[in-house]
Structure 1
Amino acid sequence: MESPEPSFRRLLLMNALTVLAADAPAQVGWLVRHAVMADEIALDFYHAFRMAEGVVEEWQLARAVLADLREIDVILSEMSGGENADRWMKEALSTDEGWALVRRLARRVLVAELGKWQACLPEITVIR
């Protein structure tokens, strides 16, 4: 199987960041609309970031953007684990400091890359 083109990988990453950057009520609406749990937001970023790791240099991202992407990855990883289950509830999206920090970092990356952080949240297809 061939790897997706770098432009497609970039699109996936920007889409994942768009969901991370959204206000908590918009994130909750997105979760409800797609009938997924809050961890889907982090999983989408995780997969997109892993797919993009090999080509981010080609995109000539600023060092600050790369640092912010890595920081988002670290924060979401640190929020993992059974002892942090409450951080993955929909309610936590508006109250948890980790989510607030990830939101700020995602917004900063989107502004640096796209000139704005607000956009329509992407549609996803969930295979069950």
Structure 2
Amino acid sequence: MDQEDAARRVRLVREALALVAASAEEQRAWVLRARVGTDEIALLFDDVWRLGEGVVPGLRAIDEIFEEMSCDRTVDHWSVAALAEDEGWGRVRELARGILDREAATPGPVPEIRVNPSAAG
């Protein structure tokens, strides 16, 4: 992997992390703006976390929590209300913020990640 490719991977991972690390209010606004379900946040992260697995440590833990949330059918982890109330969302936010801090990457505003609504679940 050359430096340019590594830099692109890190950028994509950081954008996904910024969305995961965003406050519940910011995530809600993003979901409404993108016209997708809250699960799209996890799906976007899932699309890129393996790109940075060897470059940005700690990503697997976030993926594992999203996986737990997906497998647990006893609670609706994917409602808009869950963004603010669900323990899993709080845990992934905390982990994502920790990774961004360690990487010296300020979360800043939620990036404008574009989602193709027809391709979204």
Could you tell me the TM-score, scaled by structure 2's length?
0.84
Contact 1:20 1:106 (8 Å CA) reproduced: yes
Match of 1:114 among 91, 104, 116: 104
* CA distance in structure 2 between the partners assigned to 1:94 and 1:11 by the alignment: 26
* CA distance in structure 2 between the partners assigned to 1:85 and 1:114 by the alignment: 35
Could you tell me the TM-score, scaled by structure 1's length?
0.79
* CA distance in structure 2 between the partners assigned to 1:76 and 1:84 by the alignment: 15
Secondary structure at the counterpart of residue 73 of structure 2: helix
Report the equivalent of 2:24. 24
Report the equivalent of 2:69. 79
Identify unmatched segments of 5+ residues in structure 1: none
Q: Identity rate of aligned residues, in percent?
A: 37
Task: Tell me by how many angstroms 1:45 deviates.
Answer: 0.7
Q: Which string of whole-angstrom CA distances, capped at 9 and with x for unpartnered residues, describes residues 17-50 of structure 1? A: 0000000011010000010111110011111112
* CA distance in structure 2 between the partners assigned to 1:12 and 1:84 by the alignment: 32
* Number of residues of Structure 1 aligned to a counterpart in Structure 2: 115
Secondary structure at the counterpart of residue 87 of structure 1: coil
* CA distance in structure 2 between the partners assigned to 1:83 and 1:32 by the alignment: 24
Pair 45,6 (structure 1): closer, same or farther in 2 beyond 3 Å: same
* CA distance in structure 2 between the partners assigned to 1:18 and 1:101 by the alignment: 14
Task: Tell me by how many angstroms 1:82 deviates.
Answer: 6.5
